[in-house]
A and B are shown apart, each in its own frame.
Chain A
Amino acid sequence: MLRIECPWCGVRNEDEFSYGGDATVERPADDASQDDWYHYAYTRDNPAGPHREYWHHVNGCRAWIVVERDTVTHEVFSTAPASPNLPAGNREG
């Protein structure tokens, strides 16, 4: 059971979230090559160690967040909102 800190809701159980894939992959521009788009859609690294992932607080506030997590030890180093427009969250306020 992972415990993930949602920037808005605080530390919550893994089962409130759904995994959303690799957050290190950048979506190509519209005029990028077919090859870029192919790699974007199909190829992923499978690192053992620190990794950046998207998680969706789907049974919570519905925020997409970026989680820095070690895929071996499952240690979570940081969590942040995926959207730069959304504030980093203020659980006290």
Chain B
Amino acid sequence: MAQQFRTSSGGHIDRGRVISFTFDGKSYQGYEGDTLASALLANGVHLVGRSFKYHRPRGIQTAGSEEPNAIVELRSGPRKEPNTRATTIELFDGLVANSQNRWPSLDFDVMAINNLFSPLLSAGFYYKTFMWPASFWTNVYEHVIRRAAGLGTAATEPDPDHYEQCHEHCDVLVVGAGPAGLSAALAAARTDARVIIVDEHPTLGGSLNRDNYTIDGKHGSEWAAETAAELAAMDNVHVFSRTTVFGYYDHNVIGAVEKVSDHLPVPPAGHPRQRMWLFYPQRVILATGATERPLVFGNNDKPGIMLASAARSYVNAYGVKPGKRVIVATNNNDAYRTAIDLHRAGIFVTAVVDSRAHPDAPLADELKKLSIRLLTGSAVGAAEGGKRVKYAQIVTTQGDTLDPVRIDCDLIACSGGWNPNVHLHSQSGAKPVYDDSILSFVPGESRQAEVSAGAANGSFALQDCLDQGNAAGAEGANMAGFEGKEVKAAKAEDEGVYALEALWIAPTPYNKSYKQFIDQQNDVKASDVELASQEGYDSVELLKRYTTQGMATDQGKTSNVNALAILACQRGEPIPQVGITTFRPPYVPVAMGVFAGHTVGNDFMPVRRTAIHDWNEKQGAVFIEAGLWLRARYFPQYPGDTLYNCYVRETEATRNNVALVDVTTLGKIDIQGPDAPEFLNRLYINNWLKLPVGKARYGIMLREDGMVYDDGTTSRLGENHFFMTTTTANAAGVLAHMEQYHQTEWPDLDVVFCSVTEQWTGIAVAGPNSRKLLEKVIDIDVSNEAFPFMAVGECKLNNITARLFRISFSGELAYEVNVPADYGEQAWLDLLEAGKEMGVGVYGTEALGTMRIEKGHVAGSELDGRTTARDIGLEGMANRAKHFIGKHCSERPALLGDGRLQVVGLKSLVPGRNLRIGAHLVDPDKRLGSVSQSQGHISATTYSPQLDCGIALGLLMDGASRHGEQLDAVFPLDDEKLRVEVCHPVFIDPEGELVRA
């Protein structure tokens, strides 16, 4: 029969909306408003998983996000999500869930044999068992651990959904919408403060939806619904349901995840699956409630054993009977409510087992009236049964352990007391303190602008929750600058006192040994804590790591205090002396997707395109990423045209004729002011004071430690006006570097500057025919006499205003034209048109790289942050009579002595073989693989069409004085060894006649 464990009425579910779902391939039905857990229980399904280490059958322990056991794999295909808590999954039509950590099936799991070998898996088993020999790691342990630690499996296809990230500011943020939170939000909102209230459930109300208390004469859930509606209608209030605050960060920044579409089969069009929120409140009110802790007794992990509040929740909120014959085990008054509510729902409560000798009289009377048996001074010592609890062994907690009393049951609802949810308070940097009256931790002194109210503050009485929330809300708004009339909190019925007595571990029947679980998700038992303590791991942080208690995905929400108390018992010390572990974000597991947001795939980083990009694309250029830029790497001319063919062809076109290359990506900085020359003088190692107007100069910048930082050409456009270029890679860094020195060290210099990289398109026109080409389109005299090497001038390219620079990276006669970016493509087309009759070519970064190596120009692979100007052979440029950044440290003795890696050229002596970047340079006689000292490495390589052999630049120990030597370039990963000859790094035109022609 479908849903045979439903109550006849009640619960916040819509019995008119039947929802079908499957669990482990079997079809079931539930109602709208169910969680997966409540729907499974409605169908009598208690066995939902196997435990992590021992593969013991496990059921549903809680009704909330603290669930350690009911962890399932949700959905299938690309949306498959492992390790989700059945207690928080809202049921939707067609939901598919599967149990985890079992093979071949949940009912019959071969790994359950671990249960018998459990002595091997006790505390510290990772450290003790998986020790040696090393070969066991790859051959044995890895497989064992992978198989055994087999929690869910991740989807293998890309996530089809998208995730958003949003920011919101407010005056008062209220976390949690139970009685305290609702009360706080209302009080704050009435002052007109901007209020955000956040709750992880779909419906606001918290414990009011679980308990049967009245507020202002109404059922608590009714009051909650009315208050929620009142808040939602206020313009200054933003209500977030299905939203979990997972992190409390520095400076009162709060992180939350809103599950926008997780309760639906697929996200509606245009909606994200989840949304990450960063909240920036003035004040935070933590009304995060409390979590019940389980009792520790033998076999307390069997399906059919759940928290007393969870049993109440399933009956009252979901209209589900979690059992037919129930034992309520407790050490406090609160669980009596479970007995009464279950009884009223028609469930047979066979006994209330209270560890206290003298329970609360009014409650005892109430049980009597309902004819519910009450056993005082008693506890469940052990549970028995297979895949579901069948009976409990009741022992006495007072005096000698007598023979146990057996009581049959199919559900044990237990309560070991309540722990305030101090997680966010702890994350905020505060230290929770122990409160003996509730045997748990309560918030300590605030470190940030936060206050806790209600159960989160250790005040469990409903009226206290309403009052504290009301006061905290008004006070929070007040501290954020809002005044309001004092309004009294709503009035709750008097539910009596909470009163509990410690029962950290129940005595076992006949003092026999049982598995008494503390942390059910990581299978940590009371005996593991005892063992860890005996072995000296008795500080709380060590205990956690040694036993793994609290380190599962539930972060020990139901187990931390029990573990701590048992450790304290072991050490014979009071709990506060043993301490408390620090809570860290996230409060609940958060999907990586929501942290990534939209920055995935092509949107991971912005793409920068030059003005010539579209033209390049039309030509079929192959692009390469250079930082954020896309640059044309080479231009295939026919199908199957290779990188090698292209760069050889493009290089030859440049060296023999003329070709264009897009150099827009170089950093460009416009510098102006009377102190601009002095500023450059301090930034660069060379002299700038005497650079004439209309001239460019190549410059080198160092870091303070004396290493080369960047290089480039800077031109003097006017007396007080300079134009700097930087490498593509360092464009942003050099600007920040200049800003730092100008603002922190030399504020007296009268100079201003800004990046103009995007404002100008740069085109290099290179090759022996470059002048001939430019003469056709440039309106100034570009002859060698009128416009010599390193000349700079303003001109017009046809009718486009342009700047012309006589500079060369290729080593050929060359010019660089800069035009405003909006005219970049037109200028490019004009140059191509003008060069058409002479057969002008274009080239990409690959040919550019070939020519720079042939010419011996250093670039990023040589300027690797470890080379000095001397190492790259350019010390001669330095003017050491003036001050410049890095001057002093570049003179440190070790940088001037022998043994430095210096830039050299290298030629492959093996015909037809090119060299390899990263290969090490070693003495030639050493056998490959034998121990030989690397004397340097290859930094850049190419085939040189000009020399018709493989050439390279490299960094070689004392290389400047070793030209002519032969070495081996070895690349052990590929078993490769090539003979090379060391030479001058400038392979072609060492005198620079071509560029000056």
Contact = CB atoms under 8 A, between A and B. Distances in A.
Given A40-B704, A41-B705, A83-B747, A34 B740 contact: no
A46 interface: no
Interface string A55-73: 0101000111000000001
A64 B278 contact: no
A75 B11 CA distance: 48
B892 A64 contact: no
Nearest to A57: B739
A83 B278 CA distance: 32
A64 B740 contact: yes
24 contacts: A1-B249, A3-B250, A3-B252, A3-B280, A18-B736, A23-B744, A27-B745, A28-B888, A32-B888, A34-B888, A37-B889, A38-B889, A38-B892, A41-B704, A42-B705, A56-B739, A62-B739, A64-B739, A64-B740, A64-B744, A83-B744, A83-B747, A85-B747, A86-B747
B891 interface: yes
Chain A binding site: helix, strand, loop or mixed by DSSP?
loop
Contact of A2 (B251, B736, B742): B251
Instruction: For chain A, give the interface size range.
Output: 20 to 34
Interface string B360-399: 0000000000000000000000000000000000000000
Contacts of A89: none
Given A18-B736, A38-B889, A62-B739, A82 B251 contact: no
A37 B740 contact: no
Given A54-B740, A58-B736, A86-B743, 9 more contacts: A1-B253, A3-B251, A20-B740, A30-B883, A32-B888, A38-B889, A41-B889, A42-B705, A83-B743
B447 interface: yes
A37 B704 CA distance: 9
Contacts of A82: 743-744
Given A37-B888, A38-B889, A64-B740, A73 B249 contact: no
Contacts of A58: 736
Interface string B243-258: 0000001111100000
A37 B885 CA distance: 11
A34 B744 contact: no
A34 B892 contact: yes
Interface residues of B, number: 27
- Kindly name the residue among B249, B253, B705, B739 whose own CB sees the greatest number of chain A CB atoms within 10 A: B739
Contacts of B249: 1
B882 to A, nearest CB: 9
- Kindly name the residue among A2, A63, A83, A86 whose own CB sees the greatest number of chain B CB atoms within 10 A: A83
A83 B738 CA distance: 13
The 8 closest A-B pairs by CB, nearest first: A37-B888, A3-B251, A83-B743, A83-B747, A64-B743, A30-B883, A1-B253, A74-B250
Nearest to B888: A37
A46 to B, nearest CB: 19
A84 interface: yes
Nearest to B887: A30
B870 to A, nearest CB: 17
A32 B253 CA distance: 45
Interface in B699-719: 704-706
B734 to A, nearest CB: 13
Nearest to B884: A30
Contacts of B743: 63-64, 81-83, 86
Contacts of A76: 251
Interface string A32-49: 101001101110000000
Contacts of B744: 23, 54, 64, 82-83
A26 B784 CA distance: 49
B884 to A, nearest CB: 9
B888 A56 contact: no
- Kindly name the residue among B249, B252, B887 whose own CB sees the greatest number of chain A CB atoms within 10 A: B249
Contacts of A73: 429, 447
Interface string B867-892: 00000000000000001000111011
A9 B252 CA distance: 19
A63 to B, nearest CB: 7
Contacts of A40: 704
A56 B740 contact: yes
A1 B704 contact: no
B772 to A, nearest CB: 44
- Kindly name the residue among B249, B429, B744 whose own CB sees the greatest number of chain A CB atoms within 10 A: B744
Nearest to A54: B744
Contacts of B250: 1-3, 74
Contacts of A85: 747-748
Nearest to A29: B883
A37 B706 CA distance: 11
Contacts of B736: 18, 56, 58
A19 to B, nearest CB: 12
Interface string B780-798: 0000000000000000000
Interface in B311-357: none
A40 B885 CA distance: 12
A2 B662 CA distance: 41
- Kindly name the residue among B250, B740, B742, B743 whose own CB sees the greatest number of chain A CB atoms within 10 A: B743
Contacts of A63: 743
Contacts of B278: 1
Contacts of A64: 739-740, 743-744
Contacts of A34: 888, 891-892
B844 to A, nearest CB: 31
A27 B744 CA distance: 10
Interface string B745-761: 10110000000000000
A64 to B, nearest CB: 4
B888 A1 contact: no
Interface string B391-434: 00000000000000000000000000000000000000100000
- Kindly name the residue among A18, A40, A64, A86 whose own CB sees the greatest number of chain B CB atoms within 10 A: A64
Nearest to A65: B743
Contacts of B704: 40-41
Nearest to B755: A62
Contacts of A86: 743, 747
Contacts of B747: 83-86
Interface string B423-451: 00000010000000000000000010000
Nearest to A26: B745
Interface in B656-709: 704-706
B219 to A, nearest CB: 41
A38 B740 CA distance: 20
Nearest to A74: B250
Contacts of A27: 745
Contacts of B888: 28, 32, 34, 37
A11 B342 CA distance: 54
Nearest to B882: A30
A65 to B, nearest CB: 9
A58 B742 CA distance: 15
A27 B782 CA distance: 46
A38 B883 CA distance: 16
Nearest to A64: B743
B733 to A, nearest CB: 10
Interface in B7-47: none
A82 B278 CA distance: 30
A55 B704 CA distance: 18
Contacts of B429: 73
A5 B49 CA distance: 51
A23 B743 CA distance: 12
Contacts of B705: 41-42
Contacts of A37: 888-889
A52 to B, nearest CB: 12
A1 B251 contact: yes
A69 to B, nearest CB: 10
Interface string A1-26: 11100000000000000101001000
A76 B278 CA distance: 20
Nearest to A56: B736
Nearest to B429: A73
Contacts of B891: 34
